[in-house]
Amino acid sequence: MIKHKDIDNYIASFPEEIQMALDKMRAIIKKAAPNAAEVISYGMPSFRLNGNLVYFAAWKTHIGFYPTSSGIAAFKKEFADYKSSKGAVQFPIDKPFPSGLIKKIVKFRVKEDSLKAKAKKK
């Protein structure tokens, strides 16, 4: 497994078509969580505030989006057209991403993360 130093390095390691998809996913997440830090976690691009919010990764035929199990559960109906599991959803590389849905999920995770951090401080 290649160890990437940052998200730019991760994205640059893929062919141009996949780089474009990864750049788009990154931009959607950054817009929805502008205060989140970009990190590499578990070998994947991740965004974090008080904890990890979401991850994403490139695969041969899809971009995996990992909003944790709570992010999947909260939007299960919206994932009906996509292959998904308890903690992940797959967006085919050759089709447009559901940008609005990704944005909603990231905002949901930001709120969830913030509430969790406040509860810990009490």
pLDDT at 36: 96
Domains of the chain: 7-112 (3.90.1150.200)
pLDDT at 117: 79
Per-residue pLDDT tens over the stretch 51-75: 899 999 999 899 999 999 999 999 9
52 contacts 66 by C-beta, under 8 angstroms: no
66 contacts 56 by C-beta, under 8 angstroms: yes
Q: What is the pTM of this model?
A: 0.91
